Amino acid sequence: MKGRGGLVGRYGLVMEVHANEAVVLMPDGEFRRQPIDGEVPEVGDLMQVTEEPPTLTLTKKAEQDGEPLG
């Protein structure tokens, strides 16, 4: 799964490889966990990133405790 010219889509540099996912460094400096589908990449390979990062929702501590905010 080596990188090659004429890349289309979002690619990142494989930094770590685990049983079913790779840790990928994106061009903007973000690290992402990417599921491995098919050929297992090696560290240093370019890997297409197909999933968007999860969206985090932050709540205030008082909301978690059931206290009204205000």
Residue 70 domain-assigned (yes or no): no
Output the pLDDT for position 1.
42
pTM for the structure as a whole: 0.62
42 CB contacts (<8 Å, ≥6 apart)?
A: 1, 14, 17
Q: What is the pLDDT of residues 9-64, one digit of tens each?
A: 689 999 999 989 999 999 989 899 999 988 999 999 999 987 666 555 666 665 55
Residue 2 domain-assigned (yes or no): no
Residue 1 domain-assigned (yes or no): no
Residue 25 domain-assigned (yes or no): yes
Angle, alpha carbons 12-15-17 (nearest 5°): 110
Residue 67 domain-assigned (yes or no): no
Instruction: Domain of residue 39: give its range.
Output: 11-51
